[in-house]
């Protein structure tokens, strides 16, 4: 406050007033007992700011600095002036005199603002990913005409055929007897069903135990599934499940959902060390939540079809047991990563349904079943 006394340490600094870019050499004296830093214009230069007093408690330092020597000081709040003390010894002396140099001046209410914005963003993201986009995708799926969807499915199946085709597998096998057997099976299941397009069921030669539905009523069985089945009713159970996907237009809906949400999660998580792993898991959880719901609904619908056709769910359950033996099950936390529900629970649900507890009329005769099972063996293609 008073003019600097000769006992106070005095050193040189470079002062920027925050109003113009002009640099002023200043003489700085540290009045430690009084709690002030007194900044005075160098005698040699002209005068516009004769003297300025900075409260030591209000002084802050620019952190994480990368210059070799010195420190840049400022005042808390909106003040835009900067004092650069180039000499490290002087700067250190000044550092020792100020106690709140590294204090972060966070305005009141910042914490609640952060919570509010974070909560809002999370809620909005969940709404977009799990409500808005799935519903929009489902609506768009209904806007695609049946003929167009059949053509899309045709191409999807051709694409899978091209990627699967190597050595002695990936080809479609067909005999007139097997076609007739499949037709008999699907007729019995779809007897009372009103489908937007006819089913187009084919068998692909590969060891895998699986089947899939593509958009537009295309269903493909892998021959491994038919080989490993003990009864035709097991195949009928799987067929009922795939028909359920066709009725719900699941393949198209899920493709649209995936296209809509593509890249959004990677945007949220960003790339940091180990982030790729987190991203893959998060992406998997999100996609799985889409498909698991569809799979569970397809199982439910399949059991209704079996009931209407007078076929036992026990064979369907036996098929899940077989899958579990062959590939193992997904349990605990892993289940959230899986595109399908847990196999044991699917089998249990099928058994609980008891669609035809008594005797039933077999879905295929012995000879028809034999013809279906040998479809990929004799001809080869």
Partner 1 sequence: MSTVSSTDTVKGAYGGDGGALFGLAMKTGFLTLITLGIYRFWAKTRIRRYMWSATAPGGAPFEYTGTGLEKFLGFLVAIVVLALYLGVLQLLLFFVGLNIFAGGTDPQAVLRQLAATYITLFAVLPLVFFAQYRSRRYLLSRTRWRGIRFGAETGAVGYMLRALGYTLLTIISLGLLAPLAAFKLEKYMVDRTWYGDIKFAQDGKWTMLYGSMKHIFIGLGLVIGGAAIGGFSDIPALAILGGVVGTFWLYFGIFYFQVDGFRRMANHKKVGDVIGFDTKPKVWTVIGHVLLGSLAAGAAAFAVILVAGLVGGSIIGFSSFDMMMNPDGLANQQPDMASAALGGLIFFLGYILAIIVAGALILVMVNQPIIAHYVTSTTILNASRLDTVRQRGDDEMVDAEGFADALDVGGGF
In the complex, what is the shortest distance from the CB of residue 215 to partner 1, in angstroms, rounded to a whole number?
Answer: 9
Instruction: Give the residue with the Cβ less far from partner 1, 14 or 184.
Output: 14
- Alpha-carbon distance of 171 to 33, in angstroms, equals 92
Judge whether 347 and 160 are in contact, CB under 8 Å: no
- Alpha-carbon distance of 189 to 156, in angstroms, equals 25
Q: What angle do CA 362, 367, 369 make, to 5 degrees?
A: 55
What phi-psi label fits residue 106: left (phi over 0), alpha (psi between -120 and 50 degrees) or beta? beta
Site string for partner 1, 136-165 (x = CB under 8 A): xx--x--xx---x--xx-xxxxxx--x---
Name residue, tokens 């007992």: 33
Residues 19-38, interacting with partner 1 (CB under 8 A):
19-25
Q: How far is CA 285 from CA 122, 265, 336, 342, in A?
A: 16, 11, 6, 14
Instruction: Give the residue with the Cβ less far from partner 1, 161 or 321.
Output: 161
Residues 75-134, interacting with partner 1 (CB under 8 A):
80-82, 84, 86, 106, 110, 113-114, 117-118, 120-121, 124-125, 128-129, 132-133
N residues, the chain: 381
Question: Does 196 participate in binding partner 1 (rule CB under 8 A)?
Answer: no
Instruction: Give the residue with the Cβ less far from partner 1, 267 or 359.
Output: 267
Binding-site size, partner 1 (CB under 8 A): 74
- Alpha-carbon distance of 192 to 215, in angstroms, equals 21
Judge whether 72 and 16 are in contact, CB under 8 Å: no
* H or E segment and range at residue 47: none
Instruction: Give the residue with the Cβ less far from partner 1, 207 or 331.
Output: 331
Residues 239-268, interacting with partner 1 (CB under 8 A):
255-256, 259-264, 267-268
**Quick one: CA dihedral 14, 18, 23, 26, positive or negative?**
negative
Instruction: Give the residue with the Cβ less far from partner 1, 135 or 365.
Output: 135
In the complex, what is the shortest distance from the CB of residue 67 to partner 1, in angstroms, rounded to a whole number?
Answer: 4
In the complex, what is the shortest distance from the CB of residue 28 to partner 1, in angstroms, rounded to a whole number?
Answer: 16
Instruction: Give the residue with the Cβ less far from partner 1, 17 or 27.
Output: 17
Site string for partner 1, 276-305 (x = CB under 8 A): --x---------------------------
In the complex, what is the shortest distance from the CB of residue 97 to partner 1, in angstroms, rounded to a whole number?
Answer: 22
Instruction: Give the residue with the Cβ less far from partner 1, 143 or 167.
Output: 143
Distance between first and last Cα of the chain = 100
Site string for partner 1, 44-73 (x = CB under 8 A): -xx---------------xxxxxxxx--x-
- Alpha-carbon distance of 352 to 355, in angstroms, equals 9
Name residue, tokens 């020597």: 69
In the complex, what is the shortest distance from the CB of residue 286 to partner 1, in angstroms, rounded to a whole number?
Answer: 12
Residues 310-339, interacting with partner 1 (CB under 8 A):
none
Instruction: Give the residue with the Cβ less far from partner 1, 172 or 301.
Output: 172
Strand pairing category for 24-31 and 36-41: antiparallel
């Amino acid at each position: 406050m008073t003019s600097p006394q000769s006992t106070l340490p005095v050193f040189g600094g470079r002062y920027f007033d925050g109003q113009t870019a002009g640099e002023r050499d200043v003489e700085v004296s540290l009045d430690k007992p009084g709690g002030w830093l007194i900044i005075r214009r160098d005698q040699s230069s002209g005068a516009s700011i004769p003297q300025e007093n900075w409260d030591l408690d209000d002084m802050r330092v620019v952190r994480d600095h990368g210059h070799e020597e010195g420190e840049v000081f400022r005042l808390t709040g909106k003040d835009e002036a900067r004092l650069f003390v180039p000499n490290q010894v002087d700067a250190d002396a000044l550092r020792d005199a100020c106690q709140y140099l590294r204090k972060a001046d966070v305005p009141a209410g910042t914490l609640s603002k952060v919570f509010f914005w974070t909560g809002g963003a999370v809620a909005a993201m969940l709404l977009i990913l799990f409500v808005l986009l799935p519903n929009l995708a489902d609506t768009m799926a209904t806007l695609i005409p049946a003929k167009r969807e059949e053509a899309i499915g045709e191409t999807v199946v051709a694409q899978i055929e091209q990627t699967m085709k190597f050595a002695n597998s990936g080809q479609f096998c067909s005999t007139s007897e097997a076609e007739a057997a499949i037709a008999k099976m699907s007729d019995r299941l779809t007897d009372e069903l009103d489908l937007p397009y006819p089913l187009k069921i084919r068998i692909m030669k590969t060891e895998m135990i699986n089947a899939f539905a593509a958009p537009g009523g295309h269903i493909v069985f892998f021959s491994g599934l038919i080989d490993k089945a003990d009864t035709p009713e097991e195949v009928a159970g799987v067929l009922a499940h795939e028909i359920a996907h066709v009725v719900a237009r699941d393949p198209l809906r899920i493709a649209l959902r995936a296209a809509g949400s593509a890249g959004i999660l990677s945007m949220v998580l960003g790339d940091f060390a180990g982030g790729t792993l987190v991203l893959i898991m998060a992406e998997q959880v999100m996609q799985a939540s889409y498909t698991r719901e569809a799979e569970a609904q397809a199982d439910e619908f399949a059991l209704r079809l079996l009931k209407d056709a007078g076929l036992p769910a026990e064979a369907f359950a036996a098929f899940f047991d077989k899958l579990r033996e062959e590939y193992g099950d997904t349990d605990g936390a892993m289940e959230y990563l899986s595109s399908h529900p847990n196999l044991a629970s699917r089998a249990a649900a099928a058994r609980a349904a008891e669609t035809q507890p008594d005797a039933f009329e077999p879905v295929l005769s012995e000879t028809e079943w034999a013809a279906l099972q040998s479809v990929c063996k004799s001809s080869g293609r």
